[in-house]
Amino acid sequence: MVIEIVKGFLQSTGFAAITGGQIIMLLISFGLLYLAIKKGFEPLLLVPIAFGMLLANLPLAGLTAEPVVEIVKDPITGKLVSKTKEFGGLLYYLYQGVELGIYPPLIFLGIGAMTDFGPLIANPSSILLGAAAQLGIFITFIGAIALDFTGPESASIGIIGGANGPAALYLCSKLAPHLLGPIAIAAYSYMALVPIIQPPIMKALTTKEERKVVMKQLRPVSKKEKIIFPIMVTVISTLLIPSAGPLVGVLMFGNLIRECGVVERLSQTIQNELMNIVTIFLGTTIGATAKAETFISGSTLKIIGLGLIAFALGTVGGVLFGKIMCKLTKGKVNPLIGAAGVSAVPMSARVVQKMGQEEDPGNFLLMHAMGPNVAGAIGSAVAAGLLLTFFGG
Amino acid sequence: MGKDISIVDSLIISLVSMVAVFVVLAIIYYLVDLLKIVASKKNEKTEEPIVKEDLEDEELVAVIAAALAVSLGVSIPEVNIKSIKRISSTASRWAEVGRREQTTGKL
């Protein structure tokens, strides 16, 4: 009798139900937590992601369970009505924000409110570097097709190369939701690894003289320009590529709130509270998509490999275009700033600044790199919109 | 567009998209360039502060002339200043702060 009760209890615990795959995922989440807490690697994102992963891979807790709805006959009226049998877990509901494409535009809103487009307005030609760095997206897209991924899947994998987390999530949730886990984790981890991935590529593609180029100081940008800019970009880009509207439009909306100067309270809320709340929900639920059943597979490894290629090629595209601009302007543009064309704001701009100073300690490239950097955010949102136009229908 | 597409299709899509990204951003580039003209036209009124800056510059020249005269041990009219150029400092911020602390400590 006692033995049976103990046995029953033991079988109801997670220990009896845990699978090998789940144990591996738990170990990965411990590793990520270690990196985030002890090593300080992107803790704002990695702590929620790692803990979401931890929660989703503990068996029987049902945090990610879907609600179960039954169609039953109402005993009184005799009509068929739907009745919720199980309500589903917390993370299931939070996840709807990813699946329905709600969080990524909200994050874009926050990025818009935190971004100063001044360097871009002062030096508009740097916007082309933000276009060139999207090269990685499309080459990786071809590579993924060659590796037998379907069209929508390949598009979602390629977009990792935009180094733009929310754009990648948005596209992936629309085109290939079953790959969200690996793609989100690849995109966000490579963004954290920008200071390691980019410098060798930048060094290999440029000469010492090119890295030493000092750029002219940017002109001051008037408030009027800063206010017209977001309105103009929204109208133009949404008319040209309507499916880029949700991302570019919201990014520019956030920026207008920041620059117009009459809604300071809204601007503060978007930059701080709203952004933090969405980051918590987003991080936890992305982590929770990394369930052992779907995560541990050959395609995850392929995605992680392709994602790295996408990132590297984006950097290559940006730097090469930077070299072209350097030639055309007779040495007025430092090609290093092209590397900042992959968005990853502001990390890649900082990498450029650091590399420039290694060659010449008096060279300040940060503000020049911010131009292509914020252009990259627009560029990758446009690229996501285009891919959505091709595969969304 | 179907789900399974060939490499050729993907090449075409990539090429079209890459060109489209360039076109959209190039249009924004030209419009932002136009923006500069519009904005600078209406900002012509801001001449006053520039004049003020000139005055401050004269003051600065006077200060520098006086400082030179003292350190060279000559009277001010004997100091001929042809041009004053600001040299961008190559020292790091830390070194600058350190130097400033040193000098203020000795005062």
Q: By three-state DSSP, how is residue B85 classified?
A: coil
Closest CA of chain A from B106, distance in Å:
28
Structure tokens at A380: 């990758």
Q: Which chain B residues are closer than 8 Å to A362 by Cβ?
A: 88-90
Given CB atoms, is A229 within the 8 Å cutoff of chain B? yes
For residue B1, pLDDT over 70 is answered with no
Residue type, A143: G
Please provide the size of chain A in residues.
393
Are B31 and A138 in contact (CB < 8 Å)?
A: no
Which H or E run contains A107? helix A103-114
> Model confidence over A202-253: pLDDT tens digits?
999 999 999 999 998 888 888 989 999 999 999 999 999 999 988 999 999 9
Cα–Cα distance between A82 and A95 in angstroms, integer?
23
For residue A191, pLDDT over 80 is answered with yes
- Residue A309 has what pLDDT? 93
CB A116 within 8 A of CB A367: no
Residue A38 in any domain: the answer is no
> Model confidence over A294-315: pLDDT tens digits?
888 889 999 999 999 999 999 9
Model confidence at A382, in pLDDT bands (50, 70, 90)? very high
Q: What is the mean pLDDT of residues A76-88?
A: 84
Model confidence at B3, in pLDDT bands (50, 70, 90)? low
DSSP string, B5-73: --HHHHHHHHHHHHHHHHHHHHHHHHHHHHHHHHHHHHTTTTTHHHHHHHHHHHHHHHHHHHHHHHHHT
Residue A67 in any domain: the answer is no
For residue A319, pLDDT over 90 is answered with yes
For residue A369, pLDDT over 80 is answered with yes
Q: How far is CA A391 from CA A112, A146, A386, B2, in A?
A: 27, 17, 9, 8
Cα–Cα distance between A50 and A37 in angstroms, integer?
11
Model confidence at A259, in pLDDT bands (50, 70, 90)? very high
Beta carbons within 8 Å of A377's beta carbon, 6+ residues apart: A111, A115, A130, A164, A251, A343, A345
Mean residue pLDDT of chain B comes to: 76
> CB-hemisphere CA count at 13 Å for A22?
15
Structure tokens at B77: 């009219």
Residue in B2, B4, B10 closest to A141 by CB: B10
Residue in A127, A224, A361 closest to B28 by CB: A127
CB A291 within 8 A of CB A56: yes
Residue environment code for A211-223, b if the CB has 16+ CB neighbours within 10 A, otherwise e: bebbbeebeebbe
Q: How far is CA A188 from CA A292, A308, A382, B11, in A?
A: 19, 11, 19, 27
Residue A44 in any domain: the answer is no
Are A225 and B17 in contact (CB < 8 Å)?
A: no
- Residue B21 has what pLDDT? 93
Q: Which chain B residues are closer than 8 Å to A127 by Cβ?
A: 25-26, 28-29, 32
Q: How far is CA A184 from CA A33, A342, A390, in A?
A: 17, 17, 21
Closest CA of chain B from A294, distance in Å:
21
Cα–Cα distance between B71 and B73 in angstroms, integer?
5
- Residue B104 has what pLDDT? 74
CB A254 within 8 A of CB A108: yes
Model confidence at B49, in pLDDT bands (50, 70, 90)? very low
Residue in B21, B39, B90 closest to A362 by CB: B90
Are B14 and A383 in contact (CB < 8 Å)?
A: no
Given CB atoms, is A374 within the 8 Å cutoff of chain B? no
For residue B52, pLDDT over 80 is answered with no
Percentage with pLDDT > 90 across chain B: 22
Given CB atoms, is A214 within the 8 Å cutoff of chain B? no
Q: How many CB atoms lie within 10 A of CB A344?
A: 32
For residue B94, pLDDT over 70 is answered with yes
Structure tokens at A28: 């990965």
Cα–Cα distance between A159 and A141 in angstroms, integer?
8
For residue A269, pLDDT over 60 is answered with yes
For residue A42, pLDDT over 90 is answered with no
The residue among A233, A168, A226 whose CA lies nearest residue A387 is A168
Cα–Cα distance between A112 and A275 in angstroms, integer?
11
Residue A51 in any domain: the answer is no
Q: What is the mean pLDDT of residues A259-281?
A: 94
Percentage with pLDDT > 90 across chain A: 61
Given CB atoms, is B1 within the 8 Å cutoff of chain A? yes
Cα–Cα distance between A233 and A41 in angstroms, integer?
34
For residue A381, pLDDT over 50 is answered with yes
Q: Which chain A residues are closer than 8 Å to B21 by Cβ?
A: 131, 134, 379, 382-383, 386
Residue A75 in any domain: the answer is no
Q: What is the mean pLDDT of residues A129-146?
A: 94
CB A380 within 8 A of CB A137: yes
Residue in B11, B18, B26 closest to A135 by CB: B18
For residue A71, the 8-state DSSP code is: E
Write the burial class of residue A93 (CB in 10 Å: 0-12 exposed, 13-18 middle, 19+ buried): middle
Least confidently predicted of A35-39, A90-94, A142-146, B69-73 = B69-73
Are B18 and A124 in contact (CB < 8 Å)?
A: no
Are A141 and B14 in contact (CB < 8 Å)?
A: yes
CB A323 within 8 A of CB A210: yes
For residue A138, pLDDT over 90 is answered with yes
Residue environment code for A295-330, b if the CB has 16+ CB neighbours within 10 A, otherwise e: bbeebbebbbebbbbbbbbbbbbbbbbbbebbeeee
Cα–Cα distance between A338 and A367 in angstroms, integer?
13
Place of tokens 């039953």: A72
Q: Which chain A residues are closer than 8 Å to B30 by Cβ?
A: 124
Total domain count, chain A: 1
- Residue A41 has what pLDDT? 77
Are B29 and A142 in contact (CB < 8 Å)?
A: no
Residue A33 in any domain: the answer is no
* Domain span including residue A166: 98-391
Percentage with pLDDT > 70 across chain A: 100
Q: Which chain A residues are closer than 8 Å to B88 by Cβ?
A: 362
Mean residue pLDDT of chain A comes to: 90
Residue A293 in any domain: the answer is yes
Q: Which chain A residues are closer than 8 Å to B19 by Cβ?
A: none
